[in-house]
Amino acid sequence: MSDANALIQDDPAPPAGPQPFGPFLTPSGSLRVPSTLPQFPALAGRVPTPDDSRPATPEDGVGQADPLAELGAKCLEAATRTTIQPHLVYDPGGGDSTTRSFALCIAPPATLPLPTHVLHLTFSACGETLLIPIHQTIWAVKTRLFARPDSPLPPPPPPWPPLSRQNLISLPIVRFSVPFKTIWSILYEYVHTGSTAAVLADLLAHQVPPSPLSAEPPEVQQYQMGALIAKLERIRRLWHNVVALGAENEELWEALARAWAVLLAELTEELEEPV
C-alpha cells in the first residue's frame, strides 16, 4: 500500500445521522485523512457534488449572491465600529445563561445600523472568550443563535447612572459556544457577507508559517505534507464551528468541499513523489 493510500482513507458509507469528524491523528499515533469532506449534519442524505475534477481558484463563483449581503456588510462595519466597555458589563448571574446580562457600548456612527446584542462567545477547545456586537436581523437568519427565545425574566435595575451621552447604548448579552478560535474570523465574516468565494480564497491561499528547521524556501514548504495537513485541519475546524453555530447550507459546504478536494490532491501528489 502506498503512503498516499495509507494516509487518505475511503471510509465506508456511514449510517444516517450526525457523524464525527475527529482529529487526523488516531489513538495509535498514525495520521488518517478522509478522502472526502463529511456532509454537514443539516444536509444529511444529500449526495456530495463538488467538482473536484478541475483545480479550484479563489475567483470561482461558488454559490449564488446572498440577498442579505448589502445589509450584512453594513452590520459588519457597524459591529467593528462599536466599542464594548468591558468594565461596564452587568452580569448578575455570573455567567448563568438564564439571567439577563447587559453591556454598555459606544455606538457606531449614526449612518450605520445599531447592534442589537453583544455575543459572549466561548471557544470550548481553548476556554477563551470573546465579546462581539451583533445584529439580530443577520444572526437570526444565518445561524441558530436566536433559535431559543430569551428567558422571560423582568429587566434588571440599571447597574449604572442614567446615560448622559447619546452615543452610549446598553445591549443585552447572548451566550454561545463554538469549538475553535483560530478559524473564527472566516465564519464571522461569512455570516455577514455570505461570500463563499471569500471562504474558498482564505482556505486555499492561507500561508502556514514556515519551519526554521527546513532547508526548503517558505514557498516550497507550503506544498509539503506538514503544511497541507495544517491547511486541511483549518477546514476541519471551520466545519465544526459551522455546525456548532448552525450556519450550515449547501453553498458553504460546497466551498469547503472544493477546498478540501484541492488540498487533498496536492497532498496525494506530495506523498506519491519519489524520495
Are residues 98 and 156 both part of a single domain? yes
152 occurs within a structural domain: yes
pLDDT band, very low/low/confident/very high, at 74 (cuts 50, 70, 90) = very high
What average pLDDT does range 180-188 have in this prediction? 97
Are residues 75 and 170 both part of a single domain? yes
266 occurs within a structural domain: yes
Are residues 166 and 217 both part of a single domain? no
Q: Which of 178, 194, 227 is the last residue of a domain?
A: 178
76 occurs within a structural domain: yes
- Range of the structural domain that residue 249 is part of: 207-275
Are residues 149 and 250 both part of a single domain? no
Are residues 211 and 166 both part of a single domain? no
Residue 210 scores a pLDDT above 50: yes
Are residues 153 and 227 both part of a single domain? no
13 occurs within a structural domain: no
Grid cell at residue 50? 463538488
Q: What is the dihedral of CA 104, 77, 115, 251, to 10 degrees?
A: -130
Are residues 171 and 216 both part of a single domain? no
pTM tops 0.85, yes or no: no
Q: Total domain count for the chain? A: 2
The angle formed by the CA atoms of residues 257, 263 and 267, to the nearest 5 degrees, is 135
Most confident of 49-58, 160-169, 263-272: 263-272
Are residues 164 and 235 both part of a single domain? no
Are residues 214 and 151 both part of a single domain? no
Are residues 255 and 161 both part of a single domain? no
For 227, residues 6+ apart whose C-beta sits below 8 A from its C-beta are 208, 221
Residue 4 scores a pLDDT above 80: no
Question: How many angstroms separate the CA atoms of 24 and 141, rounded?
Answer: 33
191 occurs within a structural domain: no
8 occurs within a structural domain: no
Are residues 218 and 157 both part of a single domain? no
| pLDDT digits 0-9 by tens, 8-62 | 555 444 444 445 788 887 777 778 888 899 999 988 876 655 544 344 444 444 4
pLDDT band, very low/low/confident/very high, at 217 (cuts 50, 70, 90) = low
pLDDT of residue 219: 55
Mean pLDDT, all residues of the chain:
79
Are residues 75 and 168 both part of a single domain? yes
60 occurs within a structural domain: no
58 occurs within a structural domain: no
